[in-house]
Structure 1
Amino acid sequence: MLELIPASAIIAIVVIALIVIFLAVGYVKAPPDMAFIISGIKKKSKIVIGKAAIRIPFFERLDKLNLRLIPIDVKTSNAVPTADYININVDATVNVKISNEPEKLRLAAENFLNKNTEYIAGVAREVLEGNVREIVGKMKLEEMVSDRQKFATLVKENAEPDLAAMGLDIISFNVQNFVDGNEVIENLGIDNIVKIKKAAAIARAESERDIKVAQAAADKESNDAAVAAQTEIAKKQNELAIKRSELQQEADTKKAMADAAYEIQKEEQRKTIEVTTANADIAKQEREIELKQKEVAVKEQALEAEVKKQAEADKYAAQQKADAALYQRQKEAEAKQFEAQRQAEARKAQAEADRFAKEQEAEGIRAVGEAEAAAIQAKGVAEAEAMEKKAEAYAKYNKAAVAEMMIKVLPDVAAKIAEPLGQIDKITIIGGDGGNNGVEQVAGNVPAVMAKLFESMKEATGIDLADIVKADTYDAKVNRNVNVSGIDSVNLVVKDEKENPTT
């Protein structure tokens, strides 16, 4: 008989079976391109992408979101004016998808859960078209046409925040075409075509110019080579002509020698004279040639020695200059060090000198006082002695010395008397006294004053200067003996102008 199964075992089996059924019914596995959203028990939904999860049947709900790319064809419904006021239409292709980031995915679940792809594409298309219109209004047509990547980047950056708020990501944005109704873009292309053609024409012209320049250079080189070849041929021809002349000269010389030998046979005496003369001339020419060759060799050696000597001198000068510069730098360094030491010693010596100067200042003041007193005393003694000597000198003066002194000052006296006449710029004379005109009166003023001066000096000193002056007259020179009154025992003997005067 079969043994009865305990009730507890049956219950356990039933529970296990229920658990297995429960797990089998609640087990879910999400593919990589699909997001499973499990909600129900917890406040925050559970998101599963590319992995397995357990959903509690009857208590939790399973929803799905497609994560595949959504292609969108974005076209402006009507023309949009650019920043330079040109109406254009824009055609672009965009790929968007529901983001797999948890926060954005929750936003996408709130907005597009259980919605088909066409609905999501329509919403995204409206957002993208609005952003395209906004960027078109900020850019110029030429900038958009020449840099489509910049335009696409600006639209993408401008639309990403709006789509991110819906849980969508922009994967790509590509501009297909810009269209305008006024053929502006086509005209821009024509302008570029013209520029390209112009650049090509310039490049072609420059290439042709370079070809012509190269051809001209080649022709010049060819011509130079031809000229050089012709020059070389002419040189060779000249050398050949010279060689022929030398050979002809040698033949003529031999012929002349033969003729001379024939003549020698006829006249032995004449032969001897001519042979001797010819040998002397030849020896002289050979000697001159040897001397010239030696002079050339000496000049070459001298030139070589001079060049070598100059090179050695330059080398030695450069070496000496470098040594001098090094020596100068060393001496400058030593001088700076020595100067620093000297300055330190000078400051020390200055301090000692200042101290010594202070000590000597008092002694100096005392010595100055004593010196000034001695100087005053010596000055008084010297002035007294000078006055005494002057008195003795005046006592020894006789009338001859006094007359000599007076004669020496006569030119100065006459100059002072005539000085007022030299200051006169213009004189107007009207009439005159005693038949004399005014000019004679003015001109005679100086002699009259001098005569009165002589009379005054005669009365004062007893010396007649008029007689002394007369010693130079014609009569005195003829008689050769003049006696001047008023001077003791003095006879002036006037000799001829060529002799030396004696007293």
Structure 2
Amino acid sequence: MVEEFIANPVIWAVVIIILLLFIVVSRYRKPSPDKALIISGALLGSKNVYKDPNGSKRIKIIQGGGTFLIPVLQSAKELSMSSLQIQIETPEINSQQQVPIAVTGAVNVKVGNSLKEIATAAEQFLGKEKQEIISELTAVLEGGTRDIIGRMTVEEILGNREKFSQEVQGQVSDYIENMGFQIISFTLQEIKDSNGYIESLGKPQIATVRQEAQIAEANADREVRIKKASAEQEATKAELERETEIADAQKEKSLKMADYQKQQEVAKADAEKAAMLAQKGKDIAEQEQNIAIQAKEADLKRKQYEAESNTKADADLYVAKQSAEAEKARQIAQAEAQAEQIKLQADADAERTAKLGKAEAERIRQVGLAQAESTEKQAEALAKMNEAGKLQMIIDKLPEIATALTAPYANVDKIVQFSGAGDDSIGNAGVTGLTKTFAMVKEATGIDFAELINGSLTQQAGNKPVVAAIEAAAKEKALVPSGKDKPKQ
């Protein structure tokens, strides 16, 4: 059985085909998207093959596809194409102005995309661990960073970090490319110094910012206080205006109510008068009807008398008497009706006049109440005034008082004065009238204008002569006796 199996060529053919298929499948290689397949050996062909300038080395690079490896003649390894993040941290390096600083940064690098860069990276790093690759790249990057620190000032690095990053990339790019890598980004994370130089640079700016902040805060507080005071002032003004408007509205309402009540009283009086006139007309109509009835009765009696009378003369006499009596009765009734009408008219007019007078009196009372309320508010305002304010009001009214005292002489063309020797009555009329006016005001209200003026004005030296002159004029008028009148023109 075994001999037959071994001697069967078909079986051998199947076994050979299976072996060939296994070999083919096991030699097919396809790299993942983040890796490149590096193939070395013989029979590489010409596609995706890199040759060094000397032509001594040739490798085939596969990305995004697959290929068959010839057993024994070819071998393959994968190279990562993923980016690497490298953290760099330099010791303190003297800057251009000899200020020692240390920087930290983050750099992203990856293998270049060209066949040359991939071949270079494969030649230097294929088979090495990731950490070994990062270590070699870190040394190159930190060296370039230290070189740029020595070329720039601290202020330049702080003020233009983008420029610093570009300078570092320009410094190390050739070294990185010679390693088959390219820099994706360089970020300067921190700048430190152990001498406080950077902190000192910021102090003037910080002080300026703080000062500006304090000034702004003070200005804001001042604006708030100003606006608050203005708001309170406006509120007080608005409250006073509102109270004034309320008082005016109440006064206006009182006046309108008085006018309305007067109109109602007038309308009521007119209606009552019209009703009385209508009743009077009805009474007159009834009286006229009674007169007509009496006339008819007289005529009927006349006819009866004519029928019963024996002679025409008696009948005429009787008719004449009856006609005279009827005419007399008619005239009496008409006179009585006219008298009643006149009486009713007079009563209606009297009642209407009384109601009009009552309405007018009520209106005057309402106006008086409104004026009293206004006067009371003025009195309250006057009570809040100090002595200087009251005195100023009195002084403002003195010209009007003087004008009123001399008004009787305004239209006099010629004055003839009869007085005793040394008595100038017309000259003293103004002063005497003013003194009497002050006396009457004191008697009626209890307010002594002379004392008030004397108490306030005498506090100022410039006003004492005025007060003294007023008092001297009053005393002179009281002491000089009346002499024999004599004509004086």
User: TM-score category by the smaller chain?
Assistant: 0.3 to 0.5
TM-score computed with the length of structure 2 as normaliser: 0.42
TM-score computed with the length of structure 1 as normaliser: 0.41
Of structures 1 and 2, the one with the larger relative CO (CA 8 A, separation 6+) is 2
